[in-house]
């Protein structure tokens, strides 16, 4: 699904062009909402599942207040993982930082979200990943920090892209532009209703934390990326024109 692919691109890394662990981690852990729901946990450990207050399609458009119990559980789990980060593989560390950024962004903790994105980028093994991992998250967080409007987002996008090493990021940026233009809110909602509602109904809304993180990522796409897509595209296109010599 191109929409989910684009979402994971923005939340994790450059999808398809830079194969990175965070994307696979979300997709794998979210494949079944009931996974780990009955798995044993050690005393004091964060739970491996969470009960959604409503169906995923309702959670997609629900105010953040409805999400707070879910976010609290996710935060506890991710904090526990953070405390043991030295025992995680590089792939797991990247996924952890990206998941934390997603939760921080949902809580409007822009500074913490940007810090987590920077930590994920520092672990990238190639130049493209070091510049593009979490790009949509970064741009929207910085805009929110500044209290900016569409014009400021266009400027942020343009300047951020122009500061990148063009020979390293051009193919990935062109792919991002194509994916961003193809995103549709109705298609996101249909995906959630057709795939995620059905899975959650089977488990009586008790879902794995990976499933909850994926749903949160889709909510980010629907409520933050798509409404500001025009500004993002204009800024990206401005930068692409400059880099191509105005052609």
Q: What is the DSSP string of the chain?
A: -HHHHHHHHHHTS-TTTS--HHHHHHHHHTS-TTTTTT----TTPPPSEEE-SS-HHHHTTS-HHHHHHHHHHHHHHHHHHHHTGGGS-HHHHHHHHHHHHHHHHHTT-HHHHHHHHHHHHHT-SSHHHHHHTTHHHHHHHHHHHHT--HHHHHHHHHHHHHTS-HHHHHHHHHHHHHHHHH--HHHHHHHIIIIIHHHHHHTTTEEEHHHHHHHHHHHHIIIIIGGGHHHHHHHHHHHHHHHTT--
Most confident of 18-22, 40-44, 47-51, 94-98: 94-98
> Quick check: 2 pLDDT over 50?
no
> Quick check: 72 pLDDT over 80?
yes
Give the pLDDT of residue 157: 97
Read off the pLDDT of residues 21-31 as tens digits, 9 standing for 90 and up.
233 333 223 33
> Quick check: 230 pLDDT over 80?
yes
Percent of the chain scored above 90 by pLDDT? Answer: 75
Give the pLDDT of residue 125: 87
> Quick check: 9 pLDDT over 50?
no
- Mean pLDDT in the chain? 83
Give the pLDDT of residue 245: 79
Give the pLDDT of residue 47: 59
- Distance (Å, whole) CA 79 – CA 67: 18
Query: What pTM was estimated for this model as a whole?
Result: 0.80
> Quick check: 75 pLDDT over 50?
yes
Read off the pLDDT of residues 124-134 as tens digits, 9 standing for 90 and up.
988 888 999 99
Give the pLDDT of residue 244: 84
Q: Tokens at residue 188, please? A: 């996101």
> Quick check: 215 pLDDT over 90?
yes
> Quick check: 14 pLDDT over 90?
no
What average pLDDT does range 224-244 have in this prediction?
Answer: 95
> Quick check: 235 pLDDT over 70?
yes
pLDDT band at residue 246 under the 50/70/90 scheme: low
């Amino acid at each position: 699904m191109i929409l989910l692919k684009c979402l994971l691109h923005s939340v994790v890394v450059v999808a398809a062009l830079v194969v990175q662990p965070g994307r696979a981690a979300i997709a794998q852990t979210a494949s079944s909402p009931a996974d780990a729901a009955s798995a044993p946990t050690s005393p004091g450990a964060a739970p491996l599942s969470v009960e959604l207050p409503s169906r995923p399609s309702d959670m997609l458009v629900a105010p953040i207040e409805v999400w707070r119990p879910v976010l609290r559980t996710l935060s506890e789990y991710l904090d526990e993982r953070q405390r043991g980060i030295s025992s995680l593989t590089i792939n797991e560390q990247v996924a952890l930082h990206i998941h934390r950024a997603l939760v921080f962004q949902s809580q409007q903790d822009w500074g913490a979200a940007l810090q987590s994105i920077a930590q994920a980028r520092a672990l990238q093994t190639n130049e493209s990943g070091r510049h593009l991992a979490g790009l949509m998250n970064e741009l929207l967080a910085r805009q929110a920090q500044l209290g900016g409007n569409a014009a400021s987002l266009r400027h942020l996008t343009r300047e951020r892209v122009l500061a990148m090493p063009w020979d390293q990021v051009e193919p990935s940026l062109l792919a991002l532009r194509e994916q961003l233009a193809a995103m549709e809110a109705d298609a996101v909602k249909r995906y959630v209703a057709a795939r995620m509602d059905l899975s959650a109904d089977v488990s009586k809304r008790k879902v794995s934390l990976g499933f909850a993180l994926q749903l949160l990522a889709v909510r980010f796409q629907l409520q933050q990326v798509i409404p500001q897509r025009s500004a993002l595209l204009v800024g990206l296109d401005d930068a692409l024109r400059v880099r191509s010599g105005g052609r």
